[in-house]
Amino acid sequence: MSAANNDLNLKLLVFVISLGPFMGSLDITIVNIALPSMARHFMVSTSMVSWVALSYLLVMTGFLLAFGRLGDIKGHKKIFITGFFVFTAGSLLCGLVPYILDSIGMLILFRIVQAVGAAMMGALASGMIATYLPETSRGKALGFITVMASIGIALGPFLGGFLTQYLGWHWIFLVNVPVGIFAVIIGIRCIPADSVTEKNEMFDFWGAILAFLSLFAGIFVLNKGMEYGWTSAIISGSIIACIICIFLFLLNEKRHPQPMIRLSMMKDRNFFCANVAGAVILLVFTGATFLFPFYLEILKGMSVSVAGTILVIPSVAMIIGGPIAGALSDRGSSRMVCIMSAIIGIFAFFMFATLNTNSSLIFLATGLALMGFSAGMFVPASSNLIFSITSQSETGIVSGIMLTVRDAGAAIGIAVFGSVFATVVYSNLSPEQAGMVTASSIPGEILVNGFQAAFIVGAAFSAVAILISIVIKEPGGEEPVN
C-alpha cells in the first residue's frame, strides 16, 4: 500500500510540476489570437498591442537564469510555489483591467507581473524533475513535461478564440486563476520540503541584472529587428547595449565569489554542445511555425481557422513524441535519441523545401507531423542528457540555462527564417513589384522561392544539430559516434 501511495505521490508531483510549463506555454499562444480584440477595445495600434505579447516573452526569458540560481540557493519548492502565486495574481489583475484600470499600459504592466511568475515556474520545472525523481524514470517525466507544454501551445489558439468570442478577451487571463490556485494547494502538499537551510550562499545580484538586460536587449532585437529595421537607432542601440551587458556580465561572473553561472560549465564541451543542439532544434521548429501561416493563408488560400487547425498537427506530434523519447532515453542513449530525432527533422524540412501552390494537404500534414515528432523527441532526450552530465546541486541554474538558450534559439529562428524568406522574395522582385504593400499581391512563384529557401536553411540547421549531438560524450564512458 505504501508503494502504491508513493507511486501516486510521484505522479502528482510530476503533474503539478508540469503545470508550470503548461501554463507558461498556454499564456503565450492564448494571447496572440486575442490581440486584435484588445487593440479595438483600447483603440490602439497593432504595434502597441503587440507589447502585450512581447513584454511577457522578454521578461520571462530575461528572468529564467536568475530564478534558476535563486531556486538552488533558497529552495526549489519555495520559488516554484511563489511563482505560481505571482503568476495567478498577475493573471487575475490582467483579467480585471477592463473593470478597474482600463488602459493598455496597465495590461502590459500586469503581463510583466505574470511573466515574472512564469519565469519562476519555468526556470525550475525540469530541474525539479532531475532533483526529485530517480534517474531511471527521469526521462519519462521530462517527456511528460514536453507533452504538457505542447498541449498548452496547441490549446492556446482554440481556447483563446472561444473565450474571446463568447466571453471577452479578459477571460483568457481569468481562466488561469482556478488552475493556479489548484497548483499552489497541490504543490504545497506534494512537492518535497526544501533542504537548503544549511547553505549560506550569496545571490549574484549584479549578475542577475546584467543577464536580464542582455537577454532583454537581445530578444528585443531578434523580435523587432525586421519591423523597425536592422540599422534603425533603436535596434542599433539595443545591439550595443546587449554586447556591453554581456561583456560586463562575463566580467562580473569571473570576479564574483559565488557567481550566478560558473563559466567553467560553459567550457565543458558536453554541456555546451547539448544546450546548443537544443537551441538549434527550437530554432528550426519555431522558425517554421512562424512562416507556415503565411504559406497556408496566402499561397493555399485557407481561412485563419482552417490554417490554425492544420498547425495543431506539430503540437499533437510533439505530444506523441515526448513520452516515447523519455522512455527511450531512460533505457538507452539520450544522445542517440537526439540524433535520430534530428534526422527525422531533416526529412521534414526536405519535404517542406518542395512545397508549392499545388502541394497536397496529406503531404503537408505528413511533413508537419514529422517536424513536431522530431522536436517532441529531441527536447526531453536533450534535457535528460544535460542533467546527466551536471551536478545535482545545480539543477535550478542548469534548468534556467537550458530554457534560456532554447528561448533564444526560438527567437533567432523567427529572425533567421523571416530574413531568409524576405531576402529571397525581394531579390526576385522588380522595382515596381518591390513597392507592393502586401504579401498577397506578390506573385505566387516568387513567394514559393522564399518559402523553399527558408526550409532548406531549416534542413541545414537540423544537420548541424546532428553533428553537435554526435560529439557529445554521455556519462559512463561512452565515446562519441565516429
Q: Is the pLDDT of residue 135 over 80?
A: no
What pLDDT does 431 receive?
60
Task: Work out the average pLDDT over 374-378.
Answer: 87
Give dist(CA 382, CA 285) in Å, integer.
15
What is the model's pTM? 0.76
pLDDT digits (tens, 9 = 90+) for 202-236: 777 888 888 888 888 888 887 777 778 888 899 99
pLDDT tens-digit series, residues 319-371? 888 778 777 777 767 788 888 989 999 999 999 999 888 888 899 999 999 99
Distance CA 14, CA 28 (A): 22
Distance CA(180)–CA(88), nearest Å, equals 5
Domain with CATH 1.20.1250.20 in the chain: 1-191, 264-474
Q: What confidence tens digit (pLDDT) does each residue in 34-46 have?
A: 777 888 888 887 6
Name the residue type at position 218. Answer: G
* CA 265/CA 276 separation, integer angstroms: 13
More confident residue, 44 or 474: 44
Tally of CB atoms within 10 A around 435: 8
| C-alpha cell at position 131 | 532533483
314 pLDDT exceeds 60? yes
Selected residue with higher pLDDT from 320 and 244: 244
Radius of gyration over every alpha carbon of the chain, rounded to an integer in angstroms: 22
How does pLDDT run across 393-437, given as a tens digit for each residue?
677 777 777 877 887 887 778 778 878 887 887 777 666 555 554
Q: What is the pLDDT, as a whole number, of residue 296?
A: 81
pLDDT exceeds cutoff 70 at 476: no
Give the C-alpha separation, 67 to 56, whole Å: 16
- Cα separation of 219 and 157, whole Å? 23
Virtual torsion, Cα 312, 313, 314, 318, nearest 10 deg: 100
Average pLDDT of the chain to the nearest whole number: 81
Q: At residue 442, what are phi and psi to the nearest 5 degrees?
A: -85, 140
CATH architecture of 264-474: Up-down Bundle (1.20)
Rounded Cα–Cα distance for residues 370 and 344 (Å): 6
Give the C-alpha separation, 119 to 66, whole Å: 9
Architecture of domain 1-191: Up-down Bundle (1.20)
C-alpha–C-alpha distance, residues 111 and 105, integer Å: 10
Take residue 215 and report the three cell numbers written for it.
Answer: 537577454
| Residue 7 confidence (pLDDT) above 70 | no
What does the pLDDT average to over 106-131? 87
Checking if the pLDDT of 176 tops 70, the result is yes
